[in-house]
Chain A
Amino acid sequence: MAPNTATLRPDPTFHPSPKLAMEAPVENFAYTLLLSPDHSKPDALAVIDVDPSSDSYGDIVHTVIMPNVGDEFHHFGWNACSSALSPLTGHAFYERRYLIIPGIRSSRIYIIDTKPHPTEAKIHKIIEPEELFRKTGYSRPHTVHCGPEGIYISTLGGGGENGTDGPPGVFIMDCETFDILGRWEMDRGSQEKHYDFWWNLPRDYMVTSEWGLPPQFENGIVAEDLLSNKYGHQIHFWDLRARRNVQTIDLGANHQMALEVRPAHDPSREYGFLGVVVDTTNLEGSIWTWWREDGKFHIEKSATIPAEPADADDLPELLKGFGAVPPLVTDIDLSLDDKFLYVACWGTGELRQYDVSNPRDVKFVDSVHIGGIVRKTPHPNGQAFAGGPQMLEISRDGKRVYWTNSLYSSWDKQFYPDGVPGAQVMANIGEDGGINLAEDYWVQFPDGYGAHQIRLEGGDCSTDSFCYPSV
């Protein structure tokens, strides 16, 4: 029998609509994943104080260090979010309490308890890789979302040592016991690669994207595979409850690595965005808008970001032959009002802000430069920022954007051979757009650690799924 962890009232951090989430109290803590790029130290979860009125503003106030090495922390998510308020369950008596942290390299999954207080976060449960392999045939767990059947987690690898025995996919975990229940897909169609996923809960569809198979990323980017367009370039649309792939759209093979999927937060809006890392014909990055019309899905390229010419001497080995720096669109994030899309250009060291109020007429608004392969723009406080803007997180009220600088350990070494020590910065957003780096926000991470995804206390712009429109 399962433990009875039910609460009497819904968690106050669950919100029916994105608008109500924006009006809720702001975040006081940011959780950030730390990884040891050479696997010499255990990975960790850092809890950062982001309350400007606090004495420890911008400091790490607590760290949970894992008992293993080589996990490679990447993305993570909550055990429960606003999706618990689905009108189909009428049973929202869970707590937003546990962080689900997969090790993308080890396939181990940590469940971290953040109660009674973020500064007392501790390990609640560890799911060993063998359990994942045995129950799902998948490996390298990645994106975490909570939804109708529990916690959904995407994976990048199939079975076997290289993760190439069978396609990767999504599996389901019980949101109370954290038992792995099994594969989600019943009919995957032509889907053979995986990366990110998200959905529209009332409209009952899921959208998944493609990076590459484990041999294409674990030991670094494989230049031959990239130049022969062998990384993922498709987007898949699924019937969520029927667990069936209903449509696959190929972006064109030159659009390599279709990563982050960002649907409109308002579920009455049936569109969303997708970031593509690089176009192999001209090295540009691109933003795509997908939408559903009369039951069919469509997608079009809605913005491009050109590569910047550079001297071969300033470029790492991998890029010398190209004489240019690709922007490398490695993360995108959408504000809760579905107004601004933020785009991380990890190669050129730029964070861009687009107005996407009209999703098919995407307008550039503003950008800031920080880091970058060639530009190497320092932070306004004078500190050097290694790498470039990578994992983004927007506050619920849309007024602050936080980001870190590491992409993936083995890729960091190829694009930034001097290393990417962890850094986290924050920018303030103007009422009608405009990005300004906050000079007084600079998180100092412990030596030897890189920093990846950020989660904000009480939910943020890439965790919660809403079941009611903003009215």
Chain B
Amino acid sequence: MDALWLAVIASGMFHGLNPGMGWPLAVSAGLMERKDSALLAALVPLAAGHFLAMMAMVLPFALLTSLIIWQREIQIGASLLVIAFGLFRYINRRHPRMLARIAPTRLALWSFAIAIAHGAGLMLVPIYLGLNNSAAMENSAMGQNVMAGSEFLVSSLGMTLLVSSVHTIAMISSGGIAAWLIYRIVGLKYITRSWFNMDAIWAISLILVGAIGLYSAI
């Protein structure tokens, strides 16, 4: 279970440091307005959009988990979905052109759309399911009766909030630190030096997370 929480935090940091998830926008905001507070203010909608994208992907699975007897099947299905999306991203590296139509002022919408389109939310699903299941098992191991469907649903929803929050805090802290480093310490020159093409790594991490989810379910 600790390893799964570590995965929630690690995936958050991975998303946060990826320039594609928005930290350069915070740098840009700070420089365009020539104010430190503008950088910090940009982090808020970026975090909000990311959080909502995590919730949007995880929530349907949280609702499904009330079907306790199909727990395993759900986990297998979710893992396969993540693997399939990872394979798709690996083969098709193009970025959806629709994203380029979002106005630069709509940072929360942008952050939400980017996280959904690139499967950032999906990456969290197998980790979430693992956590959710082990929480349920822990409850029964502690001698309590097996939870009723409705109780399990409430606990699943709580877990959704917790996982999405912890992930987003890790994401925005690491992204925020990257933005601050460029903005305040090392300078704009390094903004592009810190970028390298993560498309393949991103796709492989999706496949990996899916595979681990699949392994733990079987």
Residues of A in contact with B (beta carbons under 8 Å apart): 1-2, 4, 6-10, 14, 16-17, 20, 85, 87-93, 148-150, 176, 201-204, 239, 241-242, 267-268, 467-469, 471
In the complex, the answer to whether A90 meets B19 with C-beta atoms within 8 Å is yes
Residue of B nearest to A12 (CB): B192
Given contacts A87-B27, A88-B104, A89-B95, A8 and B196 within 8 Å (CB-CB): yes
Given contacts A87-B24, A468-B191, A268 and B32 within 8 Å (CB-CB): yes
B195 contacts partner chain A, Cβ-Cβ < 8 Å: yes
In the bound complex, CA of A239 to CA of B22 (Å): 22
A/B interface sample: 13 pairs, CB < 8 A: A14-B192, A87-B25, A87-B27, A88-B104, A88-B110, A89-B20, A89-B95, A90-B20, A90-B22, A148-B101, A176-B94, A468-B191, A471-B188
In the complex, the answer to whether B188 meets A87 with C-beta atoms within 8 Å is no
Q: 1/0 per residue B74-108: CB within 8 Å of A?
A: 00000000000000000111110101111111000
In the complex, the answer to whether B101 meets A149 with C-beta atoms within 8 Å is yes
Interface centre among A8, A16, A149 (most CB of B within 10 A): A16
A84 CB to nearest chain B CB (Å): 9
In the complex, the answer to whether A471 meets B31 with C-beta atoms within 8 Å is yes
Given contacts A4-B93, A468-B188, A88 and B100 within 8 Å (CB-CB): yes
In the bound complex, CA of A90 to CA of B104 (Å): 13
Given contacts A203-B104, A241-B102, 15 further A-B contacts (CB under 8 A): A6-B197, A6-B199, A7-B197, A16-B188, A16-B191, A16-B192, A85-B192, A89-B100, A90-B18, A92-B192, A241-B100, A267-B32, A268-B31, A469-B34, A471-B188
In the bound complex, CA of A16 to CA of B93 (Å): 24
Query: A-B pairs with CB below 8 Å: how many?
Result: 95
In the complex, the answer to whether A242 meets B195 with C-beta atoms within 8 Å is no
In the bound complex, CA of A130 to CA of B174 (Å): 51
Residue of A nearest to B34 (CB): A268
Q: Which residues of A contact B104 (CB under 8 A)?
A: 88, 201-204, 241
B21 contacts partner chain A, Cβ-Cβ < 8 Å: yes
Residue of A nearest to B19 (CB): A90
In the complex, the answer to whether B189 meets A20 with C-beta atoms within 8 Å is yes
Residue of B nearest to A20 (CB): B189
In the bound complex, CA of A239 to CA of B103 (Å): 9
In the bound complex, CA of A92 to CA of B110 (Å): 17
Q: Which residues of A contact B99 (CB under 8 A)?
A: 88
In the bound complex, CA of A66 to CA of B24 (Å): 42
B28 contacts partner chain A, Cβ-Cβ < 8 Å: yes
Q: Which residues of B contact A268 (CB under 8 A)?
A: 31-32, 34
In the bound complex, CA of A88 to CA of B20 (Å): 8
In the bound complex, CA of A87 to CA of B21 (Å): 9
Kindly identify which residue among A85, A89, A93, A150 contacts B197, using a CB–CB cutoff of 8 Å.
Answer: A93
A5 CB to nearest chain B CB (Å): 10
B89 CB to nearest chain A CB (Å): 12
In the bound complex, CA of A267 to CA of B20 (Å): 21
In the bound complex, CA of A275 to CA of B140 (Å): 78
Residue of B nearest to A2 (CB): B94
Q: Which residues of A contact B20 (CB under 8 A)?
A: 89-91
In the bound complex, CA of A176 to CA of B94 (Å): 10
In the complex, the answer to whether A17 meets B188 with C-beta atoms within 8 Å is yes
B90 CB to nearest chain A CB (Å): 10
Kindly identify which residue among A1, A14, A87, A241 contacts B103, using a CB–CB cutoff of 8 Å.
Answer: A241
Kindly identify which residue among A4, A10, A17, A201 contacts B195, using a CB–CB cutoff of 8 Å.
Answer: A10
In the complex, the answer to whether A148 meets B192 with C-beta atoms within 8 Å is no
- Across the A-B interface, the 4 shortest Cβ-Cβ residue pairs: A90-B20, A87-B24, A90-B19, A148-B100
Q: Which residues of A contact B32 (CB under 8 A)?
A: 202, 267-268, 468-469
User: Which B172-218 residues sit within 8 Å CB-CB of chain A?
Assistant: 188-189, 191-192, 195-197, 199
Residue of B nearest to A14 (CB): B192
In the complex, the answer to whether A91 meets B95 with C-beta atoms within 8 Å is yes
In the complex, the answer to whether B22 meets A149 with C-beta atoms within 8 Å is no
In the complex, the answer to whether A9 meets B191 with C-beta atoms within 8 Å is no
In the complex, the answer to whether A87 meets B196 with C-beta atoms within 8 Å is no
